[in-house]
Amino acid sequence: METVRIGTRGSALALAQAHLTQDLIQREFPQLKAEICVIKTSGDKDHVRSLVSFGGQGVFVKEIEEALLENRIDIAVHSLKDVPDSMDARLELSGFLKRENPRDVLVSNGVRFDDLKPNAKIGTGSPRRVLQLKKMRPDVHCVNLRGNLPSRIEKVKTGELDAILLGAAGLNRLGLAKSISEIFAVENVTPAIGQGIIAIQSCVNNLRAKEIAKKISDETTVIAARAERLWMNLLGGGCRVPMGAILEPQNKNFLFTAYLSDPANGNFLRLAQKFSAEDLAENICEKSLKNFAEKFIAECRKKNIRLPSDVAGTEAIAAFWNAEH
């Protein structure tokens, strides 16, 4: 029996995503054996420092990509939001599973965000989340938070933190949705690019792996992933300043919401635009988004908001954690 080797991180959430992928492969290709291979990444070896302080997005994918290139695995399973905007030319994102709820949520022992006590202490490792929260409540104090989801939730239960901010997708996939106290609207907390999407990565020349990834993909999620990743490239990358973007179905059309903040001055912009399915067809998606990007970039210039392409490396976000917030 032919075996398909699935590479993944070893966290509970990563394994849940890998098992979901494994189940879909076994359902669509019953003649195959899908085997999960756990690979330890740089991001798994350091549970203390903020991610941007030692590499940003790529810390959860580098070693897995090496395993693909060395033919130790056939496909890799990633949270799409962890995948950098550029990758080795020998690799590609060849499929995307049906998107989970992409929104950010508050875990706070049942207390809504507006009802948290003054100067509440909130845990999150994301400058994007911090800056959006503080626009709604300047008094809250946000602290860097790493670790697996149960350990983060425990900090709220014990009172070490008043609340934490997480993605709904991870909690849903681990059966922890009961911990959610509030789901934030996209117009208040815009999610990270690709949030809630499981991406399948393979080598460009591995036609069998690409066939498998395409078969288990969800068409609507493929459109969203392509558009959101394209947006990241149009603005110049995704890990140098806090940014978010989400494409969601809206009746027969799609609503694209984009967010960008400058950590140096706190200025931000959030814009939304409707697109038709025809606008987002693969051969014209780039043109449609470029027109919106030109408008978005012009507004950023007016508001003195630096684009990712204006910032070298990850210094802007790394410096963010050295400031009081």
User: Which are the catalytic amino acids?
Assistant: 82
Indicate the helix (H) or strand (E) that contains 122.
strand 121-123
> Which has the closest alpha carbon to 172: 281, 110, 98, 243?
98
Q: What's phi and psi for 57, nearest 5 deg?
A: -55, -40
Residues in the chain, how many?
325
Q: In this structure, which amino acid lies at residue 82?
A: D
Cα separation of the two ends of the chain: 55
Structure tokens at 319: 């410096």
- Asked if 231 and 193 touch (Cβ cutoff 8 Å), the reply is yes
Which residue is associated with the tokens 């940014």? 243
Task: Decide: helix, strand or coil at residue 180.
Answer: coil
Separation CA 321–CA 325 (nearest Å): 8
Task: Decide: helix, strand or coil at residue 233.
Answer: helix
Separation CA 297–CA 55 (nearest Å): 26
> Which has the closest alpha carbon to 317: 268, 265, 266, 264?
264
